[in-house]
Amino acid sequence: MPLDRDPADRTYKVVGHRHNRPDGIDKVTGRAKFGADLAAPGLLHGRILRSPHAHARIKSIDTSKALALEGVKAIVTAADFPDHPQVLEDGELTNIRYNVMAREKALYDGHAVAAVAASNPRIAAKALKLIEVDYEVLPHVVDVELAMKDDAPILHDHIRTEGMEDAPDCPTNVAERIELGYGDVEAGFAEADVVIERQFRTGAAHQGYIEPHACLANISGDGSGDLWCCTQGQFMVRDVCAQLNGMDVSKLRVTPSEIGGGFGGKTTVFIEPVAVALSRKAGKPVKIVMNRGEVFRATGPTASSAIWVKMGCKRDGTITAAQAELKYQGGAFPGSPVSMGAMTAFACYQPKTLKAIGWDVVTNRPKQAAYRAPGAPMAAFAVESIVEELAHTIGMDPVDFRLKNAATSGSKSAYGPTYSDIGLVETLEAVKAHPNYAIKLGPNQGRGVASGFWFNFGGQTAVTLNLNIDGTVALSVGTPDIGGSRASMCAMAAEELGIPYHHVQTIIADTGSLGFNDVTDGSRVTFASGLATIEAARNAAKVLCERAAKIWGIPADAVTWENGCAVPAGPNAGEFPPMTIKELAKKAGETGGPIAGHFEVSADGAGPSFATHLVDAEVDRETGRITILRYLIVQDAGKAVSPAYVEGQMQGGAVQGIGWALNEEYIYNDKGVMENPGFLDYRVPVASDLPMIDTQIVEVPNPGHPYGVRGVGETSIVPPLGAVANAVAAAVGARPEELPMSPPRLLKLMKEQAQPLAAE
Amino acid sequence: MRYESPTTVEAAVTLLANEAGKAHILAGGTDLLVRLRSGFIEPDLIVDLKRIDALKSITMESDGLRVGAAVPSAMLNEHADAVAGWPGVCEAAILIGSTQVQGRATISGNLCNASPAADSVPAMVAARAIARISGPQGMRDVPVEEIATGPGKTSLAKGEFVDSILLPKRAPGTSDAYLRFIPRTEMDIAVVGVGICVTVDKTGTCTAARVALGAVAAKILVVEAAAQALIGTKGDEAALNALAAACSAAATPIDDKRGTVAFRKEIAGTLAKRAAKIALSRAEKNL
Ligand SMILES: Cc1cc2nc3c(=O)[nH]c(=O)nc-3n(C[C@H](O)[C@H](O)[C@H](O)COP(=O)(O)OP(=O)(O)OC[C@H]3O[C@@H](n4cnc5c(N)ncnc54)[C@H](O)[C@@H]3O)c2cc1C
């Protein structure tokens, strides 16, 4: 969809201004209803029994004692999710079924093996202890490189390496090999004056949303019912739960609750199909609420990785060759985001030659779920570390080095397609001009830069807009609001209709009330639901014009919509005073009935977003403790519909990335059991750990959106890992190759490698 | 599960002594309620100390400052005499959790929870604090280091509880300091904690010292060799290095999710050095 006109010329009345978000008051006063906040008469409480073993054959499950306990109303196991044809023909659905309830084997510590519904949570907890599972404990593997070895314990007998012509026909943990690139990298390295290569590792980071997964299923005697849950996609939940339970999709209505964070982790199901199965079996509503330990052990963190990168450049800074081999483990099932890691790794640059190989590996860990720009941050960490080192080695300013090689509007991307209008250069120039770039550093302090890219996504989207009797508007969208998107929808609808922001109410509709929508992912909502909102509003405005034409007795095309009123299109149309939206709403019943506009689309042209981050860090050389002193984000938003929430997205992504860089990681003991399933030892940054995160929005309009919007939610987590690592490397004179840079690791690195105080 | 909130120490003792099942004291509840919620404990009786007026005050007595078992650490840190006289104990107590947690958490609870990583305990041990225990047999006073016998275990007998903690009066030229290492700034558990109390004479020479380490063994460690390294010196670099070496040597930590053995041993020394410097400079101001 093309831009209306040059967005730079357009003045917006609502869009681009700062508004209070419609969900704000309810969230800060506690009125907002989250996943666990719904109750129903006769409610039962569901609990899930989880494997204490990383890898074990389930020889038998005896539920008889638990079923005999007073108050236990239903128990389900894998046997309650039989082989429906629609499941078997879809590999990913089969994996999800296995993930939500272990079948022959438990594949990771925390894997669900049975579930109970009981009249209260205490009975449910007691019943879990009465379920007898006979396990045969098997050797396990949690490390990506160990899992790739020939003698590694095998998770799935059916996996053969896809994407490899000469793959041996025997079971393996390597699910797929991918390769992309162009040119001859060996020739590229030969042309280079400087070549640097390193091997990096990153830990598995969890999305760390504050709200644990929660749902309430209520399936009636006729086999149809409702599900209430916190999710990033009610349609996905409906479709998956219905199929896993052998129901027609029409039999299940899913209503999304308010959501206390998702970051990608709620784009799939865990407890929801189980609650449906329990409710159906018990004939009563069943609520399941995970605790934090379950969230860590059994929902998706992102992949951990081992990444080798080699790059070469000429003395003038030109990158002549870029090569990477990425190994990602995505837990117990295929589907790690390694291909996105490979595609994004060099997307900020235009290396003359390129080769990237990716390996998707399964291990005895929870099935990974999407996490904000899935696969990109760890690849960017490795690449940006080398980029910074190349710049230093040839004595070039690191921002200038990036500018010299930067992807530009119309350039061919490293992963294939040609970029439309993009804003990487603008972010780099803004960083260079920012006062932070010139602040003098003290001892033990270092400065790091990193850039980052994310594709962004459009996807299937449906929006409906209804005019109320008083001229205000009810807008229904199907994409759960995980970052202030309702505010942006209100602003875009108001902008189009020429009415005040607060005259629009936006709701996230249930699956029965709106057409299909893809989940909230790929930073797509402000772009795709926004685009559909604009078009729905335009369609409604067309109807409004028709109604005015009818009242005035002139042809419909002789009326246009301006500033919230129908007005005659020109002098020939006749002389009528503008008719307001309020007047038209009031007369709707007499002029043809309810006034509405809707729009359905598979949105293309999402337009990637680039960012550059600048960070100053200080290292305590005696303890390895890192303090982030200053942090600046510059990111291209295309058009910031709600600048405050764009800044919020930028800051939030940076904070999560800083956590990943400094302390967050899954820690396993020698039995493959997670050691830190809680926020005490899975260390996300706390507020006092961080300085104010400075932000600067760059606006290079995306030609794919009427206002130029591009998604901003994910790009912000791509640069921080590399930026922080670069700052630390500058401070201590040694390069961190393993994340997180926890104090014990950094202290060890400094002992082994650091030069004495890098005097600035 | 029964919940009781007696108003006298005697009534609390009677309740505890007469309970046939599992009885737990509730002070601030910042450990107890977490353990209760997560299913680690299933008490039959909970006895809340917060209605006992006698335990809610901080009083200066002839031999020191008495801190009641129901005094939250926030209140301790607003008490001018406490902060002036025992800065190390107070700075340890104010590290517990966050502002919200400190509104509830008590140092007696920190002590009786018997975690080797408890923050206020090494500081109290360094300060030679005395716990007063009430029980069916009456009252007894014991040094705080004798309360915990291992992680989560105490020497308290059935019916007994800590009713207050005495921070003994200090000789002139005495002060203390507490430092802990955590990777973050708050809401974390000490990877290493060091409490140091020193006395200096008019020449600035250290005449007495007590060094306690947290989180590097199953119990809080008192490191006599570290104290000896300081005594007779003015805290010069050689003395501090000897102190650090003694602390590193004394530490017997484990490799776990919070840190490696090598890291914890080294940090024990590093922090001891830093804490000693602070304690010495405070002590000189108290001459
Ligand atoms: C978010 C959070 C952060 C925390 N951070 C820290 C930290 O940084 N450092 C740290 O050291 N701790 C920390 N803790 C743990 C806890 O706050 C402290 O140990 C606190 O001092 C406990 O005191 P309380 O009064 O709340 O004890 P309670 O929870 O009431 O009791 C703790 C235990 O001691 C027993 N007990 C309490 N008082 C007595 C008594 N007078 N006599 C006999 N037995 C008694 C109880 O039965 C219970 O077993 C944290 C806890 C939370 C929830």
Please report the pLDDT score of residue A759 as a whole number.
Answer: 42
**Cα–Cα distance measured from residue A483 to residue A372, given in angstroms and rounded to the nearest whole number:** 12
Taking CA atoms only, the protein residue closest to ligand 1 atom 2 is B97
* Residue A685 confidence (pLDDT): 97
Q: Would you call A675 and B256 a contact, using CB atoms and an 8 Å cutoff?
A: yes
Which residues of chain B lie closer than 8 angstroms to A667, CB-CB?
A: 257
Give me the phi and psi of A702, to 5 degrees please. -85, 120
- Percent of chain A topping pLDDT 70: 98
Q: What is the pLDDT of residue A760?
A: 39
Residue spans per domain, chain B: 2-47+59-168, 174-285
Residue A754: which pLDDT band, with cuts at 50, 70 and 90?
Answer: low
Cα dihedral B187, B188, B189, B192 sign: negative
Identify the architecture of domain B2-47+59-168 in CATH. Answer: 2-Layer Sandwich (3.30)
Of A622, A689, A744, the CB nearest to B260: A744
CB-defined site of ligand 1, < 6 Å: B 24-32, 34, 49, 69, 95-97, 101, 104-106, 108-110, 112-113, 118-119, 156, 161-162, 187
Instruction: State the smallest CA–CA distance between residue A604 and chain B in angstroms.
Output: 43
What is the CATH topology of the domain spanning B174-285? Enolase-like; domain 1 (3.30.390)
For domain A35-138+212-259+266-298, the CATH architecture is Alpha-Beta Complex (3.90)
Ligand 1 nearest atom to the CA of residue B55, by list position: 41
Res. A758: pLDDT tops 50: no
Interface list for A 58-117 with B (CB within 8 A): none
| Residues B183, A676: C-beta atoms closer than 8 Å | no
The pLDDT of residue A682: 97
pLDDT at position A167 is 83
Which string of DSSP letters, residue by residue, matches A454-513?
E----EEEEEEEEE-TTS-EEEEESS--SSSHHHHHHHHHHHHHT--GGGEEEEE--TTT
Nearest CA in chain A to B264: A744
pLDDT digits (tens, 9 = 90+) for A330-381: 999 999 999 999 999 999 999 999 999 999 999 999 999 999 999 999 999 9
Closest CA to ligand 1's atom 41: B162
Cβ distance A692 to A615 under 8 Å? no
In chain A, what residues touch B267 (CB-CB under 8 Å)? 623
Task: List, by residue range, all CATH 3.30.365.10 domains of chain A.
Answer: 7-32+458-603, 304-456+607-752
CA A490, CA A538: separation in Å to the nearest integer? 14
Closest chain A residue to B262, measured at CA: A744
Q: Which of B183, B256, B262 sits opposite A683 (nearest CB)?
A: B183
Residue A7 pLDDT level (bands cut at 50, 70, 90): low
Query: Predicted confidence band at A469 (pLDDT cuts at 50, 70, 90)?
Result: very high
Q: What is the pLDDT of residues B194-236, one digit of tens each?
A: 999 999 999 999 999 999 999 999 999 999 999 999 999 999 9
User: Averaged over A294-307, what is the pLDDT?
Assistant: 98
What pLDDT does residue A4 have? 55
Q: Please give the Cα distance from A744 to B258 (Å, whole number).
A: 9
Distance (Å, rounded) from C-alpha A431 to C-alpha A419? 22
Reported pTM:
0.96
pLDDT band of A168, cuts 50, 70, 90: confident
Q: Which residue is closest in CA terms to ligand 1's atom 49?
A: B113
CA distance B191 to chain A (A): 11
Q: Count how many pairs of residues, chain A against chain B, have C-beta atoms within 8 Å.
A: 49
Lowest mean pLDDT among A4-8, A536-540, B43-47: A4-8
Residue range B244-259: mean pLDDT, rounded? 94
pLDDT of residue B39: 82
- Selecting from B39, B184, B259 the residue whose C-beta is nearest the C-beta of A744 gives B259
Q: What is the pLDDT of residue A165?
A: 87
Instruction: Report, as an integer, the average pLDDT of A245-270.
Output: 97
**Amino acid at the residue A654:** A
In this predicted structure, the answer to whether residue A17 has a pLDDT above a threshold of 50 is: yes
Would an 8 Å CB–CB cutoff place A677 in contact with chain B? Answer: no
Which pLDDT score is estimated for A166? 87
What 3-state class would DSSP assign to A662?
Answer: helix
B187 interfaces chain A, CB cutoff of 8 Å: yes
Subunit contact A685:B256, Cβ cutoff 8 A: no
Cβ of B266 within 8 Å of Cβ of A742? The answer is: no
Q: Which of residues 261-280 of B touch A (CB under 8 A)?
A: 262-263, 266-267, 270
Q: Is A691 on the interface with B (CB under 8 A)?
A: no
pLDDT, tens digit, for every residue of A30-73? 999 999 999 999 999 999 999 999 999 999 999 999 999 999 99
pLDDT for res B37: 86
> What mean pLDDT comes out for the span A474-482?
98
C-alpha of residue A577 to centroid of ligand 1, in Å: 73
Encode burial over A155-168: b for 16+ CB neighbours within 10 A, e otherwise: bbeebebebeeeee
Cross-chain residue pair B181–A747, CB shorter than 8 Å: no
Q: Under CATH, what is the fold of the domain A7-32+458-603?
A: Aldehyde Oxidoreductase; domain 4 (3.30.365)
- Average pLDDT (A300-313) is 98
- pLDDT band at residue A10 using 50, 70 and 90 as cut-offs: confident
Whose alpha carbon is nearest atom 19 of ligand 1? B110
Q: How far apart are CA A76 and CA A59, in angstroms?
A: 16
Report the DSSP beta bridge partners of residue A200. A307
Q: B220 — contact with chain A (CB < 8 Å)?
A: no
**Model confidence over A273-282: pLDDT tens digits?**
999 999 999 9
What number does CATH give the domain A304-456+607-752?
Answer: 3.30.365.10
Span A489-530, pLDDT tens digits: 999 999 999 999 999 999 999 999 999 999 999 999 999 999
Q: Are A635 and A427 contacting, i.e. CB atoms less than 8 angstroms apart?
A: yes
Distance from CA of A664 to the nearest CA of B (A): 11
ipTM of the complex: 0.94
CB-CB: which of B187, B188, B263 is closest to A744?
A: B263
Burial A334-366 (b: 16+ CB within 10 A, else e): bbbbbbbbbbbbbbbbbbbbbbbbbbbbbbbbb
Common-topology check for domains B2-47+59-168 and B174-285: no
State the Cα–Cα distance between residues B8 and B29, nearest whole angstrom: 19
